[in-house]
Amino acid sequence: TPKGSCLESVKIAIDTGYRHIDGAFVYYNEHEVGQAIREKIAEGRIKREDIFYCGKLWNTCHPPELVRPTLEKTLKILQLDYVDLYIIELPMAFKPGDAIYPKDENGKFIYHETDLCATWEAMEACKDAGLAKSIGVSNFNRRQLEMILNKPGLKYKPVSNQVECHPYFTQPKLLEFCRQHDIVIVGYSPLGTSRDETWVNVSSPPLLKDPVLNAIGKKYNKTAAQVALRFSIQRGVVVIPKSFNPQRIRENFQIFDFCLTEKEMKEIEALNKNVRYVELLM
Ligand code: A2P
């Protein structure tokens, strides 16, 4: 992202009405996000408690003794006292160190053996210390969630699991499992990603060109993007659409003045292809 565009976008988003901001150390723009939040607080537009900031623990920081210092680093970059939600970004660990994607001489990722349950206990300690109001996970499958839920002496359950979720990847089984355990699904790539070939499986067709989404949008005078977002929130999935375009930032917020019928919800659910855009081949 060009320097400064994240700062501008977050400020526009807050002015538009967005309050949930999904960030991560590895996005390398937390300083801009923090600045935008602090500027809006200084303007009197919002209070800190109006904002819901989610930060993420990267793969190289899974050893329990690294968890709190890593969160403290994020807070220092943000210049905030706490995050609202701190999540384990991925269930697999990389070798700790300065390299974000540590690789050996053959270009293979260097993994690291850690105990996710021990990482989770360090996350719990961050909540107890007041550095994170809530803690959760991301990209966890059912088995990995169960490992945490069944951990002896569990103090706090993950409040949320952030996973890819949209009309072409509806996650019916994981959604049901999470519902049963009061874990909120936060759906990333709710618009079908930017289709950047360096990390996106572009053999799956573009979501926003889908004829059903477009036809339903026509009926409500909405775009396919707005229909896709509305579909997710109507089934209880939190959405975190990404845009750095002021017009589209506003467009993606105009989803609270219409309601999809049960028939339309079913029609959209039937679009599920069970194919991920974000394969996370690591
Ligand atoms: P841009 O930042 O130029 O708006 P996802 O949230 O699924 O990862 O999708 C993000 C991608 O979708 C970005 O490339 C973003 O581009 C684009 N995008 C965001 N909002 C819209 C919209 N309302 N209509 C079309 N494309 C959008």
Q: 10 with 36: CB under 8 angstroms?
A: yes
Is 20 one of the annotated binding-site residues?
A: no
Q: What is the mean pLDDT of residues 22-34?
A: 96
Q: What is the mean pLDDT of residues 152-174?
A: 98
Report pLDDT digits (tens) over 50-98.
Answer: 999 999 999 999 999 999 999 999 999 999 999 999 999 999 999 999 9
Question: How far, in Å, is the centroid of ligand 1 from the Cα of 173?
Answer: 27
Residue from 1, 230, 231, 242 to probe ligand 1 pocket by mutation (most atoms less than 8 Å from CB): 242
Q: Give counts: helices (H), strands (E), the chain.
A: 10, 7
Q: For 5-270, CATH number?
A: 3.20.20.100
Q: What is the mean pLDDT of residues 23-43?
A: 97
Question: How far, in Å, is the centroid of ligand 1 from the Cα of 147?
Answer: 35
What distance in Å separates the CA atoms of residue 25 and residue 223, rounded to the nearest whole number? 32
Give the predicted TM-score (pTM) of the model.
0.97
Q: What is the mean pLDDT of residues 13-25?
A: 98
Q: Where exactly are the structural domains of the chain? A: 5-270
**pLDDT for the residue 63:** 98
Which two structure tokens, joined as six digits, stand for 241? 């659409």
Q: Is the pLDDT of residue 3 over 90?
A: no
Residue with structure tokens 């996370």? 280
Question: How far, in Å, is the centroid of ligand 1 from the Cα of 155?
Answer: 38
Closest listed residue to residue 144, CA positions, set 189, 181, 96: 181
Burial of 244 (0-12, 13-18, 19+ CB in 10 A): middle
